[in-house]
Amino acid sequence: MTATLTAATALSATDRCDRCGAAAAVRAVLNSGGELLFCGHHAQEYSAKLTELDAQMHDSRAN
């Protein structure tokens, strides 16, 4: 079986932080197939753990 990585869809105004409900700025795609959305504050707070989990981070603030 061949795994295909697709580009993450862009965040929209309706995407909200899974932690506090603020507008999402970062999408973290986990190797297990799940994803988490974070505002900038919570993305910063959890970045070390997400890096440890080898999550792919898609930061809309970098654009």
Asked if the structure places residue 13 within a domain, the reply is no
- 43 touches 61 (CB < 8 A): no
Asked if the structure places residue 49 within a domain, the reply is yes
**Domain of residue 40, residue span:** 26-62
8: confidence class by pLDDT, cuts 50, 70, 90: low
Provide the number of structural domains found in the chain: 1
CB count within 10 Å of CB 42 equals 19
**Which tens digit of pLDDT belongs to each residue from 24-52?**
999 999 999 999 999 999 999 999 999 99
pTM recorded for the entire structure: 0.82
Asked if the structure places residue 18 within a domain, the reply is no
Asked if the structure places residue 6 within a domain, the reply is no
